[in-house]
């Protein structure tokens, strides 16, 4: 960009110089034609003066009058044939970058895209979630549970604990004591 500006200025100066040269040549040609016309007029005047002198001396002038030879400056000749086309000139300098154009109008909305594929399930969280609120009591009673086993037998063990045998043949140990051993002191209960 910095090099293009001086080149554009230089090209403008060269063009201006060429136009000035053409104007000078045209003026020189005009001055030359005017000078030739003045010379022809002077010669015609001198020729007429010499004819009059010859007539005054009693002789016949040999040259014809100037009016019959040259009555006016030479006229322009016929227009010549057009010349052949010249060769193409060199490419001109690269023009400067133009200003940015105005922003265009928004385009129409495009069609909706196709739905994507469902993603894979995420991994289970290792952090437990918060405890939920206590639910309300149900107004509908739950179903009755199965009938439990009954007691088939009860026995008192040697260690004083109860042994319950149930109807499903399972047993349960229940702390006692199931019996109390009497405390016997000496001489108690004996007769002398």
The C-alpha angle 180, 181, 186, rounded to 5 degrees, equals 140
Tell me the longest C-alpha to C-alpha distance in the chain.
233
Q: Domain tally for the chain? A: 2
Average pLDDT, the chain: 74
Q: What is the pLDDT of residue 78?
A: 83
- Domain end point (choices 28, 54, 69): 69
User: Which of the two residues, 142 and 34, has the higher pLDDT score?
Assistant: 142
Q: Lowest mean pLDDT: which of 4-8, 70-74, 150-154?
A: 4-8
Residue 26 maps to a domain: yes
User: Which of the two residues, 81 and 53, has the higher pLDDT score?
Assistant: 81
Q: What is the pLDDT of residue 182?
A: 67
Residue 126 maps to a domain: no
Task: Tell me if 65 sits within 8 A of 51, measured CB to CB.
Answer: yes
Q: What is the pLDDT of residue 133?
A: 87
Whether the pLDDT of residue 87 is over 50: the answer is: yes
Could you read off the pLDDT of 126-183 as tens digits, one per residue? 888 888 888 888 888 888 888 888 889 998 988 889 998 999 999 998 887 887 766 6
Q: What is the pLDDT of residue 24?
A: 47
| Bridge partner residues of 11 (DSSP) | none
- Domain end point (choices 69, 85, 100): 69
- Element (H or E) spanning 21, and its range? helix 4-56
- Element (H or E) spanning 66, and its range? helix 66-69
- Domain end point (choices 69, 85, 116): 69
Query: In this structure, what DSSP letter does residue 158 have?
Result: T
Residue 33 maps to a domain: yes
Q: Tokens representing 75?
A: 């006229």
Q: What is the pLDDT of residue 165?
A: 92
User: Which of the two residues, 35 and 85, has the higher pLDDT score?
Assistant: 85
Whether the pLDDT of residue 14 is over 70: the answer is: no
End-to-end, the C-alpha distance of the chain in Å comes to 147
Whether the pLDDT of residue 189 is over 70: the answer is: no
CB atoms within 10 A of CB 66: 19
Whether the pLDDT of residue 123 is over 80: the answer is: yes
Distance of CA 78 to the CA centre of its chain: 64
Whether the pLDDT of residue 101 is over 70: the answer is: yes
Residue 18 maps to a domain: yes
Of the chain, the percentage scoring pLDDT greater than 70 comes to 58
Backbone angles phi, psi at 173, to 5 degrees: -95, 130
Residue 24 maps to a domain: yes
Residue 130 maps to a domain: no
Residue 125 maps to a domain: no
From CA 46, how far away is CA 59, in angstroms rounded? 18
Residue 19 maps to a domain: yes
Whether the pLDDT of residue 51 is over 60: the answer is: yes
Local confidence band at 54 (pLDDT 50, 70, 90 cut-offs):
low
Domain range spanning residue 41? Answer: 4-69
């Amino acid at each position: 960009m910095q090099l293009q500006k001086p080149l554009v200025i230089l090209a403008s100066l060269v063009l201006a110089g060429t136009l000035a040269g053409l104007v000078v040549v045209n003026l020189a040609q005009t001055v030359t034609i005017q000078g030739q016309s003045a010379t022809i007029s002077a010669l015609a005047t001198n020729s007429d003066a010499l004819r009059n002198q010859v007539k005054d001396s009693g002789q016949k002038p040999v040259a014809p009058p100037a009016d019959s030879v040259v009555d006016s400056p030479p006229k322009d000749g016929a227009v010549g044939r057009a010349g052949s086309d010249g060769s193409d000139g060199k490419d001109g300098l690269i023009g400067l970058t133009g200003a940015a154009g105005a922003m265009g109008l928004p385009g129409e909305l495009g069609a909706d895209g196709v739905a994507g594929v469902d993603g894979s399930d995420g991994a289970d969280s290792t952090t437990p979630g918060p405890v939920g609120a206590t639910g309300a009591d149900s107004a509908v009673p739950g179903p009755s549970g199965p009938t439990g086993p009954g007691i088939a037998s009860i026995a008192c063990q040697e260690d004083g604990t109860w042994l319950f045998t149930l109807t499903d043949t399972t047993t349960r140990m229940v702390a006692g004591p199931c019996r109390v051993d009497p405390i016997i002191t000496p001489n108690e209960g004996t007769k002398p």
